[in-house]
Structure 1
Amino acid sequence: MNLTACLRPICLALLLAASTTAETAVAATPAVAAAASAATDNPATHPSFTVRVVGKGRPMLLIPGLTCPGAVWDETVARYQRQYQCHIISLAGFGGNAAPASTDKLLQNVRDQLLAYIKTQKLSKPVVVGHSLGGFMGLWLSATQPEAVGPLVIVDSLPFLAAVQNPVQTVEGARPMAEGMRKQMTAGQMTMAAARQMSATMMQDTARITQTARWSAASDPATVAQAMYDLFTTDLRQDIARVQQPVLVLGAWAAYKAYGSTKESTRAIFEQQYARLPQHRIEMSEAGRHFLMYDDTQWFFQQTDAFLQQHYVAKK
């Protein structure tokens, strides 16, 4: 099977996650809102994101994907807040949150400010759970300061997005494509109908599709465009060799059947990109699309529960 053909659908799903745009942010579920133990902290210390802290126990950092606010993790927080102190990140410019003052070095700023947040809050090796862009960020945090974070749960993300269509791609080779995409995405927001259509490729539940499309239309186009540019021009495939923590990688493939992909061929792509990651396990969902915590919820929790029990036993 042609490797490029196998890689293309994964790239498409992640591109769609970035491109869908939205109207209004969806509020947190009542259960999670009622359980909140702290509101948003002072954003002046880290202008690239805000944080909501929920629950007690060992620290857990939850990072959403492109265009999504921290509310994308509501059900995950509801499950873990009794055992973990959940630090729920919402990136500036996504899902109705105010855009950052500057998009220069956008994701690098997020990385550096998250590492500073972990240090100033005295979080002892927090487990990092990240979806899509959030998974990439978790890898980057650990590769930059391996001693700062604990185990990683990476949800349908890769160390170098540009390489999904060409596994020998380089940053310089990807730059012209990334620049063209940035210009196109900055030009304007998509209609709600188009956003819904794209969201439907990444999840199956109608209510979820509407929710994520609204988040996307509320996102700042320039911020989303720069985030995608940064993803396409940052290659972590070699850097992840520095990661010292155990890592659980959860992948999706079912949405890509129409492109000729199989579970085995998609898994091979993940294994290729994560080859230099010292301690990792890759698991592929049977039925879930890109938003695995929505589409294959019980499997997502089973995998995450077992991983945390083995590597990050929570304090009661």
Structure 2
Amino acid sequence: MSAAFGFNVAANGVRLHVLRYAGQGAPLVLVPGITSPAITWGFVAERLAQAFDVHVLDVRGRGLSSSGPGLDYGLDAMADDLSALIGALGLSGVTVLGHSMGARIAVRAASRNAAGMERLVLVDPPVSGPGRRAYPSRLPWYVDSIRLAERGMDAEAMKAFCPTWSEEQRALRAEWLHTCHEPAIVTAFEGFHRDDIHKDLPGLPVPATLMVAGRGGVIEPADEAEILELNPDIRIARVPDAGHMIPWDDFDGFFLALDELLGTSFARAGA
């Protein structure tokens, strides 16, 4: 098991907090979703560290990174943070693994400045955007839980929002959700419907793979077909029994899909 240590980096005009799960392999930067501080991905990062040197980012407005009023919480700013972080750390040959919003950040970052990036792993990104169907989650789900967390909530209270998660997972989310700055979350959610990531897919300068949650309702077969039409080189793996929060729903299935996409051997190592 890899022990994490945290540190802060000045990049793109903000403070970015990173948790590093040091491994012997090539660097991997994990970019979480809309309300997932870095620490909540620790159980995934520990196994990833069997094959990668893992850095998990607190996206601005979340966790211990810069937050509060006056910051730009739009997609381009978050994408530029990712590129600036890779540069500030002097990383090269980076696998960028983004989940949900983090996958959209990865796509936009690669399209704007792919320096240091070797490949993208896009885990169930929202495919909403201008003129497209809405993202299936609703904004009050996020806002209501954040406001409760700001007042103080425990794992039992979090069960109303994450009923299938383990008590440990719910407790960790309850502990850290208050660090998600509500205006940052609202801006990101609105961006799911305003920002067009499809326009970035044909010209991606690095290879990309896509992991789809079979029960997530975020990416449907027609979406997969459109993505492949825009970029036929994107390889796709599915996790049939998982919802959108794939490793929470099917931890082993998440790593089986990574093995399929990356040629790793997590499943064999974890047996």
- The aligned residue for residue 292 of structure 1 is 246
**Deviation string, structure 1 residues 228-274 (Cα, Å, up to 9, x no partner):** 22332210112211113332211123255xxxx9xxx9222333245
Query: Which residue, out of 39, 42, 53, partners 1:74?
Result: 42
Q: Distance in 2 between matches of 1:272 and 1:72?
A: 32
CA RMSD, aligned part only?
3.3
**Deviation string, structure 1 residues 137-173 (Cα, Å, up to 9, x no partner):** 1111122234541111111113445655279xxxxxx
Output the TM-score relative to the length of structure 1. Answer: 0.68
Offset, 1:284: 2.3
* Percent of matched pairs sharing the same residue: 21
Matched-pair contact (CA < 8 Å) for 1:158–1:273: no
Q: Distance in 2 between matches of 1:268 and 1:231?
A: 18
For the pair shown, which has the larger CA radius of gyration, 1 or 2?
1
Matched-pair contact (CA < 8 Å) for 1:48–1:100: no
Query: Which residue, out of 162, 173, 191, partners 1:199?
Result: 162
DSSP-derived class of the 2:8 partner? coil
Matched-pair contact (CA < 8 Å) for 1:143–1:241: no
Q: Distance in 1 between matches of 2:133 and 2:87?
A: 37
Matched-pair contact (CA < 8 Å) for 2:60–2:66: yes
Instruction: Confirm whether residue 50 of structure 1 aligns to residue 8 of structure 2.
Output: no
The higher relative CO (CA closer than 8 Å, separation ≥ 6) is in 1
Q: Summarize the Cα distance change of 1:165–1:198 in structure 2 as closer, same or farther, 3 Å threshold.
A: farther
Matched-pair contact (CA < 8 Å) for 1:57–1:84: yes
**Deviation string, structure 1 residues 197-238 (Cα, Å, up to 9, x no partner):** 3333xx554543453354334422112112222332210112
- Amino acid in the other structure paired with 1:240: L
Output the TM-score relative to the length of structure 2. Answer: 0.78
**Deviation string, structure 1 residues 265-310 (Cα, Å, up to 9, x no partner):** 9222333245312421222222111110121111111221332237
DSSP-derived class of the 2:62 partner? coil
- The aligned residue for residue 169 of structure 2 is 208
**Deviation string, structure 1 residues 158-201 (Cα, Å, up to 9, x no partner):** 3445655279xxxxxxxxxx9xx69x959x8257588543333x
Matched-pair contact (CA < 8 Å) for 2:8–2:16: no
Instruction: Confirm whether residue 223 of structure 1 aligns to residue 177 of structure 2.
Output: no
Q: Summarize the Cα distance change of 1:112–1:100 in structure 2 as closer, same or farther, 3 Å threshold.
A: farther
- The aligned residue for residue 153 of structure 1 is 121
Instruction: Confirm whether residue 104 of structure 1 aligns to residue 104 of structure 2.
Output: no
Q: Distance in 1 between matches of 2:105 and 2:31?
A: 8
- Amino acid in the other structure paired with 2:80: D
Q: Summarize the Cα distance change of 1:209–1:254 in structure 2 as closer, same or farther, 3 Å threshold.
A: farther
Q: Summarize the Cα distance change of 1:39–1:214 in structure 2 as closer, same or farther, 3 Å threshold.
A: closer
Q: Distance in 1 between matches of 2:29 and 2:121?
A: 10
- The aligned residue for residue 170 of structure 1 is none
Indicate the structure with greater helix content.
Answer: 1
Bigger drift between 98-107 and 48-57 goes to 98-107
Q: Summarize the Cα distance change of 1:95–1:279 in structure 2 as closer, same or farther, 3 Å threshold.
A: same
The gaps in structure 2 that reach 5 residues or longer are: 265-271
Q: Summarize the Cα distance change of 1:113–1:255 in structure 2 as closer, same or farther, 3 Å threshold.
A: closer
Bigger drift between 233-242 and 151-160 goes to 151-160
Q: Summarize the Cα distance change of 1:154–1:215 in structure 2 as closer, same or farther, 3 Å threshold.
A: same
Tell me the number of residue pairs that the alignment of Structure 1 and Structure 2 aligns.
Answer: 254
